[in-house]
């Protein structure tokens, strides 16, 4: 039982027949990449920020690329190229921590002074509330200790204490008998 393909044999192209077409597509791609790299080199050679911005807009229009896409590709082009190292497994945890610190610093730079003071004041209030509730039993015990010291030092309070204790003792004796 033979299963025939639905496409006629004249339309089926072998991989060898597709090779010239792939080669021309590859050469066009390589040529377009070189044009783009030349454009990036022209833009990065300009030191003045205003002129560089004008050149970015001009190059994006010239290459018929959306401006934001051109900017993203230019930023990736400007990033330093990383060369693989044999120490990468050792450095990886350090680089992850470094990335987190870098992200925190970027976030810290992006917020305004007003937002920063608001965040710090909220954190300070939260810490003060927590310490107030944690410290409450100690403050209560200090008040009780201070009252005991006052009662023990004053002779009038000593007599009143004995009187109160004697009076309650008499009442308790009457209740018992």
Contact 148, 161 (CB under 8 A): no
Taking only the tens place, the pLDDT of each residue in 132-164 is 999 999 999 999 898 888 777 776 666 666 666
Q: What is the mean pLDDT of residues 8-19?
A: 56
pTM of whole model > 0.85?
no
Share of the chain above pLDDT 70, in %: 67
**pLDDT category, 27, cuts 50, 70, 90?**
confident
H helix intervals, the chain: 15-44, 49-63, 67-78, 88-110, 113-153, 155-176
Q: ∠ CA(122), CA(123), CA(129), 5° rounding?
A: 90
pLDDT at position 1 over 50: no
Q: What is the mean pLDDT of residues 95-123?
A: 80
Nearest to 72 by CA among 56, 94, 58: 56
**pLDDT category, 131, cuts 50, 70, 90?**
very high
Domains of the chain by residue range: 7-81, 130-176
Contact 70, 60 (CB under 8 A): yes
């Amino acid at each position: 039982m033979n299963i025939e393909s639905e496409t006629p044999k004249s339309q089926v192209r072998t991989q060898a027949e597709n090779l010239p077409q792939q080669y021309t597509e590859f050469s066009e791609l390589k040529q377009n990449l070189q044009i783009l790299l030349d454009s990036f080199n022209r833009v990065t050679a300009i030191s003045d920020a205003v002129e560089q911005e004008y050149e970015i807009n001009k190059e994006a229009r010239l290459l018929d690329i959306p401006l934001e896409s051109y900017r993203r590709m230019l930023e990736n082009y400007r990033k330093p190229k990383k060369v693989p190292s044999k120490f990468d497994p050792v450095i990886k945890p350090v680089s992850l921590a470094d990335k987190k610190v870098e992200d925190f610093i970027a976030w810290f730079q992006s917020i305004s002074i007003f937002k920063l003071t608001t965040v710090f004041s909220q954190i300070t209030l939260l810490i003060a509330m927590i310490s107030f509730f944690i410290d409450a039993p100690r403050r209560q015990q200090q008040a009780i200790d201070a009252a005991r010291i006052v009662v023990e030092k004053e002779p009038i309070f000593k007599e009143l204490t004995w009187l109160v204790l004697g009076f309650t003792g008499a009442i308790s004796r009457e209740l018992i008998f």
